[in-house]
Structure 1
Amino acid sequence: MKEQIVILTGAGISAESGLGTFRDEGGLWAKHRIKDVATPEGFMRDPELVLGFYNMRRAEAVKATPNAAHVALAALEAAHDVLIVTQNVDGLHEAAGARNVLHMHGSLARAMCVRCEARWDAPLVMRVTDTCPECGAAATRPDIVWFGEMPYGMEEIDAALREATLFASVGTSGNVYPAAGFVAEARRMGVPTVELNLEPSAGHSMFDEVHVGPASEVVPKWVNALCRS
């Protein structure tokens, strides 16, 4: 039977590609307060600081390459209907060949205008003097969903969960809502659930199955078993 699979991915799937998480000691996030670089208020206070922070993140993402977990999820599309809902703002799923990817927290590769909400491909280095190609305002920011803002694609995600035959969560902490609530929504609809994580998440008890280990190991193993069944 061809499964309809919704897969939620978080920072843990990209960590093995060299991209840091909020919790990494000594990493890029450890040098900044979240409220200074990941909120609309922080951007209003110091747009140069915020743009510089995301310029560094963008440079890291451009250099990164997909790991075996990204490749395995992309390959899963050949056998099943798959929607990858990612909290990550890198493009590693697409770089691995995945086609059906929803970036619920935005993308480092995109820019947006604070004034008119136009969106376009971001340059490698964004500056406070950059102007919007639509309205001409010098009010551009990364197209990233910051704390306090509504994630993208919630209606599409809800619809996909209603139609899903399987929900999987890969490399997520289970602490950030609304994504942390997807497993409860899937369970409410009777959808089987599985977690694949370096260590059990805060909500691991909500899942029917939990597979623990590095994403580059547990994800390909899970995908291979699923494709053989």
Structure 2
Amino acid sequence: MQYPVNEIFETLQGEGFYTGVPAVFLRLQGCPVGCAWCDTKHTWHCDPELKVDAEQVIGVSGDKGHWSQWPLSALVAHLTSGQYTARQLVITGGEPCLYDLTPLTEAMSEAGWQCQIETSGCFQVRCDANTWVTVSPKEGMKGGLAIQPQALTRANEIKYPVATEQHIDNLKALLATLPDGATPVVALQPISQRPRATKLCIEQCIANNWRLSAQVHKYLQID
């Protein structure tokens, strides 16, 4: 098993349920979803001309679209080598669920790490049972992909980007499709930190007993 890695870096989780927790971020390359507001568009394509050696994606900004192919064994060995103090692995992208994450999450869980996947929900989620799955549903995007029921059902957390009332209506429609007994954490995330969107999210969080995901890392100006 091999994974196309855009970057590996350690910081604080700035969004959702684990906000403020130290984490190692593993950003995988490749995403066909096509979100207009995406701030990591450089991760959309695995351009052969931008393939680099493994050490060139460690602790550096991946904003140029560079990526490296990592075998599972090498990736686990690097993450568990002792150079990171965090024990939270956030697997993001790009779209990480393009790939089977079961071998990686099983290995990291056995090593004593908590894994978290951040996904659009447009692909089946393949991971071990202990992994925290954050689905940030991306509907009506350029890629024309639909939200997968399996991804929603597997979600521990639904983190929904919001700009308008229509987004709230769309979220409620998605939540209505969940099976009885499903109780994921619901967090609203204002798109681009817009004041109007933030106000709407705060109002809806209070009205529905949801959480606010304020992208704290952007306010703190950290990676």
* TM-score for the superposition, normalised by structure 1: 0.34
Q: Which has the higher helix share?
A: 1
